[in-house]
Amino acid sequence: MTAVPDAASVVPRLGGGPVATVTQTSAEEVLSVAADRMARRQEATGGRYWRREMEQVYRQRISVGGREFVAEDRIRDVLWNGIDRNKVTVVSGLGTRPLTAADRAEWEKAGSPRLCGSDTDCRNDMIPMGKTRYLVSSEEEGLKQSTLELSVRELLDLPHDPAELKEKLLSYWPAAREAMKDSQSTSSAQVKLPERDYWLWGLGERPFLDAPTTPRTRAAVYRMLAGLPGVRIADGVRGVEGQVGVAIPRGGANGEGEEQIVVDRETGDLLATQDVLPVPTADQGNIPLGIVYMSMMIKKLGWTDDEPVIPEGCGPDQREECLR
C-alpha cells in the first residue's frame, strides 16, 4: 500500500508524434475528491429507518494434526435505527470455510475437521451458524460509546466542517478519559490509557457503522481522521472481496496491526474498515500474516421505509436475547 506521488511525466505518442503530459494523482488528492463527492450527495432522509447492512469477516490460522491452514468466518449484521424508533440489530452466522484452495487442501489433509469460527467447542453460543439473533432496544439508541451517548437527532446535527467536528467530539473526551481512569484502577495499573487522538480515531469510525450521519458529516470524518497524527493515506488498497479503494490507515509499525478505513474512490462511500498484521509479532497467535484478518464490509447504507421483520416474542420486552 503506497501513496502515488504527485508527478508529471512525459510519454511519447505512438508513431513518434507530439508528446502527451500525464499527471499522476496523489492518494491525498484521490481521498479529497472522494470526500467532495460524498459531501455533495443529496441523500434522502425521509425514511423511517437508517439501515446499515454489513458482513463481518474474520480470518484465523488453524493448526490440526500437524497441518496448518487459514479459515474465514462470515457474519451478516443488519442494523435499523431512526428517530423515535427502537434500534434493531439482526445478526446471522454465515459459516466458516478454508480461505483458499491451498488452505482447503491442507484442511482436507487434516481430516476435514469441523470449522466453527472462533468458537472452539462449535456451540457458537452468541451467533450460531445458520441461525439469527435479534436484538431490539426498548427505546431509541443513536450512538453509545463509554460515557458518550448521542441521539439520532444529535448525530444528524453533527458539524460538516472537519475542524468543527473534531472540536465537538473532543468536548466528550474529558469525561471519557475519567471513565477510563476509573476502569484502569479496578483492573491493572499496567494498562495504558489510549491517547486522545487514538480515542478520537476509534470514535470517528463508529458513526460509519453504527449510527446515521449526513453525507457532509461523513466527508468531514474522512478529513478529520486523515489529519490525525500517525495517520496516512494510501491508494489502491484492496478489500476482502477484491474491491479497491483509497484508504486511511493507522498503525502497522513495530509489529502492531494496521487499521484501515477503505473508501470508494469514485463515490466516497465507505467500503470497509479492516485490520492487517503486516509483520510477525511475538504474540501473533492465530492471526494470519500479511492479509486482512478482520473486516467490517459495508453492503448497503442509507434511509428506508422498510420495517425490520421481528419474529413473535423477540420484542424489546424480551428478557433474553432472541435466537431463531
User: Which grid coordinates are listed for 189?
Assistant: 495499573
Q: How far is CA 181 from the centre of its chain?
A: 27
Phi, psi of 167 (to 5 degrees): -60, -40
Residue 302 dihedral angles phi and psi, to the nearest 5°: 155, 180
pLDDT digits (tens, 9 = 90+) for 9-64: 333 333 344 444 344 679 999 999 999 999 999 877 667 889 999 999 999 988 88
Total residues belonging to the chain: 324
Give which of 72, 4, 53, 117 is closest to 291, Cα–Cα.
72
Q: Which three three-digit cell numbers place residue 148? A: 458518550
pLDDT in tens, 218-231: 999 999 999 999 89
User: How far out from the chain centre does Cα 249 lie?
Assistant: 12
- The pLDDT score that the predictor gives to residue 11 is 36
Query: Could you tell me if 294 and 58 are in contact, meaning their C-beta atoms sit under 8 angstroms apart?
Result: yes
DSSP code of residue 192: P
3 state DSSP class of 219:
helix
Average pLDDT over residues 203-219: 89
Provide the pLDDT confidence category of residue 140 given band limits of 50, 70 and 90: confident
Q: What is the mean pLDDT of residues 123-136?
A: 72
Q: How far apart are CA 210 and CA 198, in angstroms?
A: 19
